[in-house]
Structure 1
Amino acid sequence: MSVAALRVDGGKDIGMGHIMRSMALANDLKKEKEVERVFYITKNDLSAVNKLKENDFEVITIEKDLSYDDEIKKVKEIIKKEKVNKLITDSYDIDQNYLIEVRKFVDRLITIHDFAPFAFPSDVVINGNVYAEDLDYQSYYGDTEFRLGTDYLLLREEFKNLPEIEVRDKVHNILITVGGYDTRNLTPKIIKALNSIDFDEIDDQYIDNENLHIDIVIGPSFDNIDQIVTEVEKSSLDISLNFNVKKMSKLMIKSEIAISSGGSTLYELAATKTPALVMLQAENQIRVAEKLDGKSVVNLGYEENITNISEGIIGLMRNKNDYINDFINSKKMNFNI
């Protein structure tokens, strides 16, 4: 029997993407008969800790302000005390030296990473991004197993083995989702941009103006809710604010189009056959958005291009079949780590 720990952080500064995708792997570990315990080691950020506990994960917190060396020391102490055999890391702050140090204390080290910034000392490296095989990954010890590409995409359970999804001709519902934290204050800007569109001028073969509804997801770390409410109150559109969403797949399946930030959400939208207009929040989202541009998304770039939303909606609906690609094989995923 073994004990597995996941060293992952989330919160206002870095978003919740690493937490959300790592939970897919953590849930798979829980199902393995030889794994008797799965828990997270995470910095003491309330939104991240709450999200993990809501999903029934045990959490051991470490202080946010630990120095680099002190953090490694603390993680080693936890590994020894809790008798951890498998350690999974998912953080851009964990570098080569950090991985070399913690590998000495576990039987198996698994690293989730979106890029190839150094030679990895890990036993396994997972990058499920669509661009992963374009990167020059190297092994520090020469024994790393690289699992690259969308066959190894970390999709949450609710996005696996979805029922057959009907692709509708007209837009009845638009979903707005920018992640756990609205880093660039995009949500009120998107509402404002939508409110400036004269939907009656858009050909009714693309949009059902009479029944058009907009769902907005409010992430756990949003600090701009007042601004969002203000824009909603100004709007003549039918808008719902969705807090503490437990089943994102339902909202995605309900929507013919999404306006989304980049990152792992784009893969979830692809799984639900929901084409998306992408507004970038951070540099690490650029590569995914560019690689998927023309497959399942239209990449609008950063917020200075927000006025192009109207053209993007029409373009997506006019060419909807071109933007719905089955490049994710969720039934094939089996990590066996």
Structure 2
Amino acid sequence: MGNKIIVLRVDGGKDIGMGHIMRTIALANDLKKKPENKEVFYITKNDPTAVNKLKENSFEVVVIDKELSYEEEIEEVKDIIKKRKVKKLITDSYEIDQNYLIEMRKVVDKLVTIHDHAPFAFPSHVVINGNAYAEDLDYESYYGDTEFRLGMEYLLLREEFRNLPDIQVRDKVQDILVTVGGYDLRNLTPKIINAFNELDLDEIDAQYLDKENLHIDVVIGPSFDNIDQIIEEVKKSSLDIALNFNVKKMSELMIRSDMAISSGGSTLYELAVTKTPALVLLQADNQARVAEKLDDENIINLGFESKNIKFGIKETVEKRTNLIDGLSLNNNFKTI
């Protein structure tokens, strides 16, 4: 049994989404398997969605108060690290700035930062950005000793999306997946269902769409507050629509789907791995760069324009074959 203790300082929830939590779970699970690591646990703010998701994945969670001031939070996290004799700290939060990291480096042997942007010179020993655009950014090291691990070979894919079997691709679209994340910030799901209701399927060539067997899976995230509105839209529809709550394995839904309508973020890489072309509607500004980089690769990016969903669906169905071949993504990643 090893003696290294590792902590991940990550937040998630209704306001900021669950992307940071979900991608670090992939890394944390790998770290737990290594014999040299005695403990792997999380420090996170007291948002029930994030805490419950981590506990569902069998992680110990040390909760800190959301109301702590910036200085108080730093001191509390440092105190936890010292008391637990943590050797390695991994951070993944846009709210953690340069000074915060400088303070954390004082109390650990190794500081690892996962970050999608390059807003400052990093004092961390290692910085990871597995995004498609990572190598386009101008990263700097504060102390001159930072190792930058950039690009999709460092993509933090959840275990269920790695080492997938050969995926059979149907000639026509039959199953469509709708997934906009843990919280439907822009109320996109009812708008998407409404767009399907208004779409004239006869306008889509039969060579692209299996109209008689069309099925739509809608994923309901844990923080959705618009479920009643979604149900009302489904009731209006003559299409075969299933609502999926508490989805445990998104990979299975993606694999059986011929295309998706999705928000941005790391979900786009998961869709690429499962060969699921997507029409993308953004929920937040931090999703824009990924969608722009992958546009016309394996996705069609509508950005924040939700008025054109109906036309976007038709375009994605008709361009699907080209989009499947657009991005070749290895479903293994290098760890730390």
Q: TM-score range by the shorter chain?
A: over 0.9
For residue 334 of structure 2, what is the aligned residue in structure 1?
A: 334
Counterpart residue type for residue 82 of structure 1? R
| Counterparts of 2:4 and 2:239, CA distance in 1 | 53
- Residue 228 of structure 1 aligns to a residue in which SS? helix
> Taking every aligned residue pair, what percent have the same amino acid on both sides?
71
- For residues 185 and 313 of structure 1, what CA distance do their matches in structure 2 show? 18
- Counterpart in 1 of 2:167? 165
> In the TM superposition, what whole-angstrom CA distance separates every residue of 1:74-104 from its partner, at most 9, and x where no partner exists?
0001101111111000000000000000111
- The offset of 1:307, in angstroms, is 4.1
| 115-124 or 222-231: bigger deviation | 222-231
Aligned to 2:306: 306
| Matches for 1:10-49 after TM superposition, within 5 Å | 10-49=12-51
* Partner AA of 1:22 in structure 2: T
CA distance in 2, matches of 1:168, 1:158: 22
Which has the higher mean CA deviation after the structures are superposed, 182-191 or 200-209?
200-209
Query: 1:3–1:35: 8 Å Cα contact kept in structure 2?
Result: yes
Q: How does 1:1-337 map to 2 (within 5 A)?
A: 1-302=3-304, 305-324=305-324, 325-331=326-332, 333-335=333-335, 337=336
1:103-154 C-alpha deviation (Å, 9 max, x unpaired): 1100110000000000000010000000000000000000000000000000
Structure 2 counterpart of 1:312, which letter?
G
Q: Deviations over 1:205-246 (max 9, x none)?
A: 111111111101111111111111111111111111111100
Decide whether the 8 Å contact of 1:219 with 1:244 is kept in 2.
yes
Whole-angstrom distance in 2 between the partners of 1:197 and 1:326: 28
AA of the residue aligned to 1:323 = L
1: CA distance, partners of 2:219 / 2:192: 12
Distance 1:230 1:321 in 2: 33
Tell me if structure 2 keeps the 8 A contact 1:193–1:306.
no
Distance (whole Å) between structure 1 residues aligned to residue 311 and residue 224 of structure 2: 28
Q: CA deviation at 1:26?
A: 0.4
Query: Would the aligned equivalents of 2:7 and 2:86 in 1 still touch at CA under 8 Å?
Result: yes
Q: Is the 8 A contact 1:86 1:108 kept in 2?
A: yes
- The one-letter amino acid of 1:184's match is R
Supply the distance in 2 between the matched residues of 1:153 and 1:184 (Cα, whole angstroms): 27
Letter in 2 for 1:320: R
Shift in Å at residue 326 of structure 1? Answer: 4.3
Distance 1:66 1:39 in 2: 21
| Cα pair 1:171 1:206 within 8 Å, conserved | yes
Q: Quick check: 195-204 or 152-161, which moved more?
A: 195-204
Q: Which amino acid aligns with 2:214?
A: L
Q: CA RMSD in A?
A: 1.1
Match of 1:306, SS state, is: coil
| Whole-angstrom distance in 2 between the partners of 1:334 and 1:146 | 13
Structure 2 unaligned regions, length at least 5: none
User: How far apart, CA to CA, are the structure 2 residues paired with 1:133 and 1:20?
Assistant: 23
CA contact (8 A) 1:96 1:120 kept: yes
Q: Which whole-Å CA distance do the structure 1 matches of 2:59 and 2:228 have between them?
A: 31
1:309 CA displacement: 3.0
Unaligned runs of 5+ in 1: none
Query: Matched residues in 1 for 2:138 and 2:18: separation?
Result: 27
Which letter maps to 1:328?
Answer: L
Deviations 1:142-182 (A, max 9, x none): 00000000000000000001111112111111100000111
SS, match of residue 301 in structure 1: coil
Instruction: Give the AA of the match of 1:254.
Output: R
Aligned pair count reads: 333
- Give the distance between the partners of 1:3 and 1:105, measured in 2 at CA: 13
**CA positional deviation for 1:314:** 3.3
What is the one-letter code of the residue matched to 1:74? E
Question: Is 1:169–1:317's contact at 8 Å kept on the other side of the alignment?
Answer: no
User: How far apart are the structure 1 equivalents of 2:23 and 2:321?
Assistant: 28
- Paired amino acid for 1:308: N
